[in-house]
């Protein structure tokens, strides 16, 4: 397979770089890529990490995967980008120093465009619309998308919070109601994606409800765009905290990657259960925010990922002398997925996320937001 100037070779590992853009002083930023092609034909599987430059578990797990995989023992081709954000990696920041937009919100937009026509059109509207002037990252990702379009499966590795259960995020799949048969296609994409996510072996969490999903531009994330624009199975994994590298999380991530390669029939062997980290194996969960009512210090009183029943105390908000000001209880049966890397809180501040069993639709029409507003 050809990846710009690089070509994979049967039974070999090929390493190289793709030109991203030119710096003001004339040197070229480059994206590292590893191509591992088996001797036998098979699917194409894309793996990437570190699109948020401070999230290191994906980078390290993929480095080990590149070293461990034997091209003589795989079918098909594996394309690995250990970092999708080399600039952010160097400064250990979510965004690169040369472009401040979240790199995981700049991928081709799958949503059908529906811009309102105005009676008065200002001649400079176009000039002020930042969509018409993509930054260097967005231009490069649009070019790189050609590789995304040529693969069959995709996993993007991220990090969440130091105190979090590593988990897989599944994007909801949207469909165009005006397009005949599109709902069936969406369901098929979702079912295949879910099967792939199950093979990985971590806790499964559905991405946020439509309004927050669109507001946060998650449909333009790597896997949101892959699943909704290219309509192929791909998902995001959230592997514990940024800035740190935990060997148990690396082991779990590698087991998950190998499981999914086995699922795709690219690697021989049985799918292995992940036992280095906690896995909540009920069907699909969804997240809700945990907020405090008072200023103070938050401390969990149950383990992260421990199943609790409705109304059970989960977090205490304490004053500076340790007195309990507030006890946060579970809104329903579920578990704390994560608390943020902090101990302080203010009224209404988000201090973490709680998992509840998902009971909302996993596929939805693109126009969902409007319909929801009409109802209200
Ligand atoms: Zn991330």
CATH number, domain containing residue 152: 3.40.630.10
Can you give the pLDDT at residue 376?
41
What is the 119 CA–ligand 1 centroid distance (Å)?
41
Could you tell me if 208 and 314 lie in one domain? no
CA triple 240-208-219, angle to 5 deg: 95
User: Does residue 363 sit within a domain?
Assistant: no
Does residue 374 surpass a pLDDT of 80? no
What is the 348 CA–ligand 1 centroid distance (Å)?
24
Integer angstrom CA distances of residue 245 from 53, 80, 94, 241, 251: 13, 19, 16, 8, 11
Quick: pLDDT tens for 113-125: 767 777 887 888 8
What is the 273 CA–ligand 1 centroid distance (Å)?
25
Could you tell me if 113 and 204 lie in one domain? yes
Does residue 365 surpass a pLDDT of 80? yes
Does residue 318 surpass a pLDDT of 90? yes
Residue 318: give its domain's CATH number: 2.40.50.100
Q: In whole angstroms, give the CA distance from residue 3 to residue 16.
A: 10
What is the 178 CA–ligand 1 centroid distance (Å)?
34
pLDDT level of residue 155 (50, 70, 90 thresholds): very high
Kindly state the average pLDDT of the residues 289-303. 97
What is the 52 CA–ligand 1 centroid distance (Å)?
5
What is the 304 CA–ligand 1 centroid distance (Å)?
20
User: Does residue 38 sit within a domain?
Assistant: yes
Identify the top-confidence range among 172-186, 203-217, 359-373: 172-186
User: Does residue 325 sit within a domain?
Assistant: yes
Kindly state the average pLDDT of the residues 337-347. 97
Mean pLDDT is lowest, of 120-129, 299-308, 316-325, for 120-129
Does residue 375 surpass a pLDDT of 60? no
What is the 54 CA–ligand 1 centroid distance (Å)?
8
What is the 9 CA–ligand 1 centroid distance (Å)?
31
What is the 150 CA–ligand 1 centroid distance (Å)?
24
What is the 286 CA–ligand 1 centroid distance (Å)?
18
Can you give the pLDDT at residue 123?
80
Q: Could you tell me which residue, 214 or 143, shows the higher pLDDT?
A: 143
What is the 308 CA–ligand 1 centroid distance (Å)?
27
Mean pLDDT is lowest, of 15-29, 117-131, 167-181, 322-336, for 117-131
Could you tell me if 133 and 56 lie in one domain? yes
What is the 12 CA–ligand 1 centroid distance (Å)?
30
Strands 75-81 and 40-49: parallel
Kindly state the average pLDDT of the residues 94-116. 90
Percent of the chain past pLDDT 90, that is, above it, reads 85
User: Does residue 331 sit within a domain?
Assistant: yes
What is the 239 CA–ligand 1 centroid distance (Å)?
9
Could you tell me if 350 and 249 lie in one domain? no
Can you give the pLDDT at residue 6?
97
Strand order in the sheet with 313-318: 324-329, 313-318, 296-300, 344-345
What is the 147 CA–ligand 1 centroid distance (Å)?
21
What is the 241 CA–ligand 1 centroid distance (Å)?
10
What is the 154 CA–ligand 1 centroid distance (Å)?
15
Could you tell me if 93 and 220 lie in one domain? yes
pTM confidence score: 0.95
User: Does residue 376 sit within a domain?
Assistant: no
Q: Which of 204, 201, 203, 173 is nearest to 189 (CA)?
A: 173
Here the tokens at position 179 are 């397009």
pLDDT level of residue 330 (50, 70, 90 thresholds): very high
Quick: pLDDT tens for 65-89: 999 999 999 999 999 999 999 999 9
What is the 320 CA–ligand 1 centroid distance (Å)?
32
pLDDT level of residue 371 (50, 70, 90 thresholds): low
Average pLDDT, the chain: 94
User: Does residue 58 sit within a domain?
Assistant: yes
Domain interval for residue 66: 2-263
How far the first Cα of the chain sits from its last, in Å, is: 51
Quick: pLDDT tens for 168-190: 999 999 999 889 999 999 999 99
Q: In whole angstroms, give the CA distance from residue 158 to residue 239.
A: 6
Q: In whole angstroms, give the CA distance from residue 314 to residue 336.
A: 8
Can you give the pLDDT at residue 370?
58
Q: Could you tell me which residue, 48 or 375, shows the higher pLDDT?
A: 48
Does residue 329 surpass a pLDDT of 80? yes
What is the 159 CA–ligand 1 centroid distance (Å)?
5
Could you tell me if 95 and 170 lie in one domain? yes
Integer angstrom CA distances of residue 80 from 37, 62, 114, 345, 368: 11, 7, 35, 39, 35
User: Does residue 270 sit within a domain?
Assistant: no
Kindly state the average pLDDT of the residues 256-268. 98
Q: Which of 67, 75, 74, 57 is nearest to 34 (CA)?
A: 67
Can you give the pLDDT at residue 127?
87
Does residue 210 surpass a pLDDT of 90? no
What is the 350 CA–ligand 1 centroid distance (Å)?
18
Could you tell me if 162 and 223 lie in one domain? yes
What is the 51 CA–ligand 1 centroid distance (Å)?
7
Can you give the pLDDT at residue 372?
53
User: Does residue 369 sit within a domain?
Assistant: no
Can you give the pLDDT at residue 366?
87
What is the 160 CA–ligand 1 centroid distance (Å)?
7
By the 10 Å C-beta count (0-12 exposed, 13-18 middle, 19+ buried), 306 is classed as middle
Does residue 32 surpass a pLDDT of 50? yes
- Show which of 263, 294, 326 is a domain's final residue: 263
pLDDT level of residue 209 (50, 70, 90 thresholds): confident
Q: Where are the beta strands (DSSP E) in the chain?
A: 2-3, 6-7, 12-22, 28-37, 40-49, 75-81, 153-158, 163-164, 167-170, 173-175, 203-206, 234-238, 285-291, 296-300, 313-318, 324-329, 334-339, 344-345, 350-357, 363-365
What is the 309 CA–ligand 1 centroid distance (Å)?
30
At residue 299, φ and ψ (nearest 5 deg) are -140, 130
What is the 102 CA–ligand 1 centroid distance (Å)?
9
Kindly state the average pLDDT of the residues 105-116. 84
Could you tell me if 204 and 316 lie in one domain? no
Integer angstrom CA distances of residue 299 from 193, 304, 331: 36, 11, 17
Could you tell me if 38 and 178 lie in one domain? yes
Could you tell me if 152 and 290 lie in one domain? no
Crossing angle (nearest 10°) for helices 247-263 and 182-200: 130
Could you tell me if 227 and 106 lie in one domain? yes
Could you tell me if 213 and 320 lie in one domain? no
pLDDT level of residue 34 (50, 70, 90 thresholds): very high
What is the 123 CA–ligand 1 centroid distance (Å)?
38
Contact between 96 and 88 (Cβ < 8 Å): yes
Q: How many domains does the chain have?
A: 2
């Amino acid at each position: 397979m050809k990846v710009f100037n690089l070509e994979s070779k049967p039974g070999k590992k090929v390493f190289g770089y793709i030109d991203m853009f030119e710096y003001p002083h004339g040197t070229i930023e480059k994206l590292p890529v590893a191509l591992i092609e088996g001797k036998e034909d098979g699917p194409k599987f894309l793996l990437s990490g570190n699109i948020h430059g401070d999230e290191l578990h994906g980078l390290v797990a993929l480095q080990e995967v590149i070293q461990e995989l034997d091209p003589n023992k795989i079918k098909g081709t594996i394309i690995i980008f250990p970092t999708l954000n080399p600039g952010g990696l160097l400064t250990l920041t979510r965004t690169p120093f040369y472009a401040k937009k979240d790199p995981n919100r700049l991928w081709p937009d799958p949503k059908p465009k529906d811009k309102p026509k105005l009676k008065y059109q200002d001649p400079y509207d176009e000039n002020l619309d930042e969509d018409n002037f993509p930054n260097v990252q967005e231009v490069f990702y649009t070019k790189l998308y050609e590789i995304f379009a040529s693969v069959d499966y995709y996993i993007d590795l991220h990090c969440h919070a130091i105190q979090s259960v590593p988990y897989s995020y599944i994007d909801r799949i949207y469909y165009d109601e005006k397009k005949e048969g599109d709902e069936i296609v969406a369901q098929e994409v979702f079912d295949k994606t879910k099967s792939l996510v199950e093979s990985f072996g971590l806790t499964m969490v559905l991405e946020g409800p439509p309004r927050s999903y669109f507001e946060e531009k998650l449909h333009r994330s790597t896997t949101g765009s892959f699943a909704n624009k290219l309509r192929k199975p791909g998902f995001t994994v959230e592997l514990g905290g940024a800035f740190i590298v935990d060997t148990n999380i690396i082991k779990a991530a590698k087991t998950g990657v190998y499981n999914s390669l086995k699922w795709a029939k690219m690697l021989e062997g049985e799918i292995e259960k992940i036992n280095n980290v906690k896995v909540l194996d009920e069907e699909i969960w969804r997240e809700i925010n945990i907020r405090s009512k008072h200023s103070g210090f938050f401390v969990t009183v149950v383990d992260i990922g421990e199943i609790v029943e409705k109304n059970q105390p989960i977090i205490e908000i304490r004053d500076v002398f340790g007195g309990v000001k507030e006890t946060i209880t579970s809104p329903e049966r579920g578990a704390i997925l994560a608390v943020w890397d902090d101990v302080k809180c203010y009224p209404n501040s988000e201090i973490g996320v709680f998992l509840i069993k998902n009971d909302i639709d996993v596929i939805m029409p693109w126009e969902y937001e409007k319909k929801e507003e009409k109802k209200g």
